[in-house]
Chains A and B, each alone.
Chain A
């Protein structure tokens, strides 16, 4: 039995209240409720920047089975809150450094367990994504809290950190990465292919970057939230795509690239989150299993000839999973091809990028 007996509540914008038990930090947190169906990779999900502003629920009932590993002080939880059915008190894995509970406490993450996350998933499936709160103190005035929940909006600001360099000087290629919330594994995927990666903030001018780093290619990385919040950067994205250098984008980067050329992005009812989505690579006529975590999608009908062509699509619902652009030498994917948390079936995307830069 789980020892923690303090109660916690998950309260949805529609007024539904789930009683559970508290795990991790005490307090009240707000966010958009999203559910992921991945059965492993909870640590990778918790530390995925694109979950910023969201409260993550796991459909798989047993979390933390193998503990937390590769822990260092830079590890950071990005989710606003965490919802589980059960968390494991006695993790078993040779790399486990601590249990999930301790990790959430260290990270000051508010979590709740003992919740029927399948019921939650069914609700989100029916009603669409909605805001929610986790609280360890049941409010006397629920309507006030519901007001807060409904008004909650993810405040997205692009990171504005100084440039950072990864990899070694001797590497054959240099990639400038526009960082909207990059995952470590994206950088690792490039570094392991002998690319020097310079991460810069989204406001960095393309000319300046060209001058300073003489890149062989550009990478517009993933990030969190509604791409419309980043409209201010679309000009720069357009400049990158006009640079005649190979450009790739992933996730939010993919959406911004499509928008920069005039395509439309819309919010999905409840998004794709999991490690089992089948994606058809149109050119190869082959299906790959992908890890996904997105709530917005590029409308395929807006990918006109001027924009380019849909290069990857979701087999189940036909949504756009990748675009090969008409101008320049650019391609983008909606999902995560890097092999961390979930299947590495489509990591060939990076290889193709490297080939383009030769």
Chain B
């Protein structure tokens, strides 16, 4: 069946901001779908609030609306655009839920819009627990005993029926938010109550817990003719009980015999058929380790994180095929895009092992609750490919960028055997390292299996790695041993370190292809992974496809983590596109399976590899590029500059020495002095004593951070000696190679610019001003373009300083500079001679292809020739407000208080003609409810903030809220003429009263600041947690709160918003 002829104009709903459980995989899926539908001649209308994605580039669709993903907004766009179809299956849970709501209300039917890719019935059957179970019962598929309930009493009754442990799963929440496993009644009540609250329809499922069973997933795809294939099977190393997003996952499923494998594959196909999905579908099973008994855990009739992984693991582009199916094509008509010889109805078969490893944010959230369960906590993931499991695992541990080269983690190296038994039993993000340490200490795979239920197959393979370490330490390092270690994925440096011997004859990696077919047919657009086999297929491929184009290698940004998000993938993709446009071959190295950069047809060639020195050098030895680009892959790529430069590779753009000059404190100070640019006074320190001395000489408050920071990692504002001591304790816990920087903290207006430079002149697309004063990390601040409060003089100074800095650093390409305006003077805070998180949104609103220009500047083209002028580009008529989005509800015990350490996972954009409307849109898109739902606002702030809350409280009162405040705050407000009811958190009973008020739904907003936060035991931290866990908007910066209150007072509604197609900007 070819394209259905009643489909001409398709509305696509994106997934919105990146949050834990719904991340860059939807940028990847969305981009693939938009590209595909456009290619076949359809008009595509896209709605997505996330400006950081490739998907929301104006070239991706006929119409691109970066608007809040709200029902009313979508209705407005549908009325405006009159699409004939709506594709809801590629915007994650957000897109699916919105599509379903529009359909259920009858809005789609009234407006002649068809739901494509899934029917309302199939979504319901997969999403509604009861309908799901009924459907499975009809086709004879076993489910775990469970019951859907809408109140606590019913939930309790059911647990008496099935017994503990039980799992609580709230309905319609992302990444299992609000769920958990309960082993007893007290624990059960807490989780169940919370789950009911988190569910938008106050519904949870209580389910018999089958922790310890194998967790197996299938990705299947079905077309309108009822053809079904499975694309990939996956096995979670962590058994049932840990969210699949937090599990280390292996593809293909490896411990299943053919019989179990075919049993589950057939079950998957039958389920997809019963659901009548037209497109991709994910099916999760629990399989008893000692029998053929299995249960269906969950089905997602849409593209998902797993479908992205399955696509990258096999080379089969599920999103692309699914979108073609949605508009009428069938699997036997769609060509396999990798081989171009076979068809999409061929099940991929692979001849390597894939390991997916999650990246968690606990290096940043040191007090976060690390226990893994049904609620996902990882912000990103990596994919490693090897032709042995050991090699894939060893690559994986390098890819996650925790500074590890092996599974030896210093936290566990000195633990005793007894301690390790305990640690292995506790499932957290570092358990794999505890297991490795346990194997080293002689705890057997059988014992570990008994404790963890991790299949012995995996444990024996890990033991192989342990044994190899021993062999390296004990034997002579001959060529055979060296190659055996290389086949297991050891780096040369590690081999020499472990053996204490020099490698006599070094080998570089050779490369094999991901081709969907295990070499059965020749592939046209494959990608590569490293091995230590003799045959180097990349080399053969290069010889077979000679090109007179110059080759440039672009280093990607690795896993998505807080501080290095999808924005850097955006920049890498744009760099690749620019290189191709300029007539180069663009080769990309990256390891993130979720993102657009690792799609098979983005770069000329793609290498799925860790981004360490040796891994990257090996690729370069095969590719022999003309140049290497490091400035778009965030800190991951930048930190390779010096090494690659020393190894004789040509670094394009800003030279290595300039990068060092911007990051080395002393050199940077010198440079600023030379340019006569002021910066906040500061010192460096290696020890606590030095730090205390420096802080006291500068005067509190001071800002502390390690040099070479990423997203403000380990950065705090210290108000006292105690803060300094606490901080230095944490920071000196890890090896201190670089000093701690201590700066005078200036609480002024923060200003940020990105500039493109050609070594002499520069182009600043726009100046951004932050709503929050300095002290809140720039990534967590609301950023406004163009600035609303800055004088022309200040803007002039910013441009001038940027010009001087760029020239002094000899920047060729991008530079990002952050300033603070304090008491009329502009100070520079930070200079990053690389891409930044603001590039995507500024590119979109200014219509300047910043990355492309930067790429051209790297090749020596002149700013003057770009046609955008020189210096500061004129302000656009539009106001753009970038609002950060957080994933706090998913990260237990993490203090939601904003500070110099970045905490947000994503962002949205509000774009409109005036500032108030743009801000309103931004806040709405970020999830704030901007109307009065309850009656009260709770305010509790630290003393220094008190003078500022009077005006704020008055605004809330004016909007009709009553004010609740803790004792001293209430007193201050009353003294200054604002009526406030006093609450207290001085005793546990009183604290509980506040929580009761939360639970009663009386509070719309909490404004809470405290001098020191972080530690979960502190009451202020707990109060904020209680609020955020009850979905009460919690504001920890007076500036954010003021902006929000101002917004409320404009009494805007969705009706007042302009729907803006950014293609027309």
A residues contacting B by CB (< 8 A) are 1, 37-41, 43-44, 59-62, 65-67, 69, 85-86, 88-95, 116-119, 121-122, 125, 274-278, 280, 285-287, 289, 315-316, 339-345
- Report B486-538 residues with CB < 8 Å from chain A CB: 512, 517-522, 533-535, 537
Residue B763 CB within 8 A of the other chain: no
Find out whether the CB atom of B533 lies under 8 angstroms from the CB atom of A274: no
- Please tell me which stretch of B339-347, B604-612, B956-964, B978-986 contacts chain A, meaning at least 4 of its Cβ atoms lie within 8 angstroms of it: B339-347
Residues of A within 8 Å of B460, CB to CB, are 89-90, 92
Is residue B348 contacting chain A, with contact meaning CB distance below 8 A? Answer: yes
Instruction: For B533, list chain A residues within 8 Å (CB).
Output: 116, 118-119
The list of the 8 closest CB pairs from A to B, nearest first, reads: A92-B457, A276-B347, A90-B460, A59-B518, A278-B345, A66-B257, A41-B258, A37-B518
Q: Mark B residues whose CB is within 8 Å of A.
A: 225-227, 229, 252, 254-258, 261-262, 265-266, 269, 289-291, 331-332, 341-343, 345-353, 387-389, 445, 455-457, 460, 464, 467-468, 471, 484, 512, 517-522, 533-535, 537
| Chain B residues positioned under 8 Å from A86 (CB to CB) | 388
Contacts A1-B464, A116-B535, A316-B341: A339 and B518 contacting too (C-beta < 8 A)? no
A62 in contact with B331 (CB, 8 Å)? no
Residues in chain A near residue B352, CB distance under 8 A: 61
Among B261, B346, B520, chain A packs the most CB atoms within 10 A around the CB of: B520
- Not counting A85-B388, A90-B456, A118-B387, a sample of 17 additional A-B residue pairs whose C-beta atoms are within 8 angstroms of each other reads A37-B518, A39-B252, A39-B350, A43-B258, A59-B518, A59-B519, A59-B520, A66-B257, A86-B388, A118-B518, A287-B227, A287-B229, A289-B347, A316-B342, A316-B521, A342-B262, A345-B269
**Is A1 a contact of B343 with CB atoms below 8 Å?**
no
CB distance from A94 to the nearest CB of B (A): 4
The chain A residue sitting closest to B471, CB to CB, is A1
Q: A65-B457, A125-B520 are in contact. Are A276 and B348 (CB under 8 A)?
A: yes
In the complex, number of A-B residue pairs with CB atoms less than 8 Å apart: 149
Shortest CB distance B2–A (Å):
14
Give, as a whole number of angstroms, the nearest-CB distance from B290 to chain A: 4
A37-B520 contact given A86-B388, A92-B460, A276-B347, CB 8 Å threshold: yes
Chain A to chain B contacts (Cβ below 8 Å), 18 pairs: A1-B464, A1-B484, A37-B349, A90-B456, A119-B533, A122-B535, A274-B349, A274-B520, A275-B349, A276-B517, A285-B225, A287-B331, A315-B345, A316-B346, A340-B258, A343-B262, A343-B265, A343-B266
How near does chain B come to A232, taking the closest CB pair, in angstroms?
34
Set of chain B residues within 8 Å of A37, measured between Cβ atoms: 349, 351, 517-518, 520
> Which residue of A41, A60, A88, A289 is within 8 Å of B518 (Cβ)?
A60
Interface of A, helix, strand, loop or mixed by DSSP:
loop
| A84 CB, nearest partner CB in chain B, Å | 12
User: How many Å from the CB of A49 to the closest CB on chain B?
Assistant: 17
Query: When the two chains form the complex, which single residue of B262, B468, B522, B535 contacts A1, counting CB atoms closer than 8 Å?
Result: B468
Identify the closest chain B residue to A116 (Cβ).
Answer: B533
From the candidates B254, B269, B332, B456, name the one contacting A62 in the complex (CB within 8 A): B254
Q: Is the CB of B261 within 8 A of A40?
A: yes
Look across to chain B and name the residue whose beta carbon is closest to the beta carbon of A89.
Answer: B460
A287 vs B224: C-alpha distance when bound (angstroms): 12
A89 — which chain B residues lie within 8 A by C-beta? 460
Minimum distance in angstroms from B873 CB to a CB of chain A:
52
| Selected contact of B349 from candidates A38, A43, A316, CB within 8 Å | A38
Residues B457 and A119 in contact, CB atoms below 8 Å apart = no
Interchain CB contact (< 8 A) of B262 among A95, A280, A339: A339
Q: Which residue of B lies closest to A276 (CB)?
A: B347
Cα–Cα, bound, A92→B522 (Å) = 34
Q: A37-B517, A274-B520, A344-B262 are in contact. Are A316 and B252 (CB under 8 A)?
A: no
With A37-B520, A92-B455 as contacts: A286 and B350 at CB distance below 8 Å: no
Known contacts A119-B535, A125-B519; is A44 also within 8 Å of B345 by CB? Answer: no
**Contact of A95 with B257 at beta-carbon distance under 8 Å, contacts A61-B388, A344-B266 already known:** yes
CA distance A334 to B341 in the complex (A): 21
- How near does chain B come to A293, taking the closest CB pair, in angstroms? 13
A69 CA / B259 CA spacing, docked (Å): 11
Q: Are A62 and B388 in contact (CB under 8 A)?
A: yes
Distance of A333 Cα from B115 Cα, bound (Å): 40
Question: From residue B254, how far is it (CB to closest CB) to chain A in Å?
Answer: 6
Interface centre among B265, B455, B519, B537 (most CB of A within 10 A): B519
Across the interface, A119 reaches (CB within 8 A) one of B261, B290, B291, B534, namely B534
Q: Are A118 and B351 in contact (CB under 8 A)?
A: yes
Question: Contact between A91 and B229 (Cβ–Cβ < 8 Å)?
Answer: no
| Given A65-B255, A85-B387, A343-B265, residue A278 in contact with residue B332 (CB < 8 A) | yes
A121-B388 CB under 8 A given contacts A59-B349, A286-B227, A289-B347: no
Q: Which B residue's beta carbon lies closest to that of A273?
A: B520
Cα A117 to Cα B521 in complex, Å, equals 15
Closest to A115 in B: B533
Neighbouring A residues of B534 by C-beta, 8 Å: 116, 119
- Contact partner of B225 (CB less than 8 A), chosen from A119, A275, A286, A345, is A286
Chain B residues, Cβ within 8 Å of A343? 262, 265-266, 347
B342 to chain A, nearest CB (A): 4
**A62 vs B227: C-alpha distance in the bound complex, in angstroms?**
30
Chain A nearest CB: distance from B840 CB in Å? 39
Question: Which residue of chain B is the closest to A92 with respect to CB atoms?
Answer: B457
B456: chain A residues within 8 A (beta carbon): 90, 92
User: Which residues does chain A contribute within 8 Å of B345, judged by CB atoms?
Assistant: 278, 287, 289, 315
The smallest C-beta distance from B47 to any residue of chain A, in angstroms, reads 34
Q: Which residue of B lies closest to A40 (CB)?
A: B258
Q: Judging by beta carbons under 8 Å apart, are B289 and A94 in contact?
A: yes
Closest to A316 in B: B342
**CB-CB < 8 A to A278: which residues of B?**
229, 331-332, 343, 345-347
- Contact residues in B for A43 (Cβ distance below 8 Å): 258
Q: Give Cα A285 to B333, complex, Å.
A: 12
B256 touches A66 (CB 8 A): yes
Q: From A290, which residue of chain B is reached at the shortest CB distance?
A: B347
Tell me, in angstroms, the Cα distance from A345 to B537 when the chains sit together. 34
B351 touches A93 (CB 8 A): no
CB-defined contacts of A40 to chain B, threshold 8 Å? 256-258, 261-262
Q: Are B457 and A88 in contact (CB under 8 A)?
A: yes
Of A39, A275, A287, the residue contacting B332 (CB under 8 A) is A287
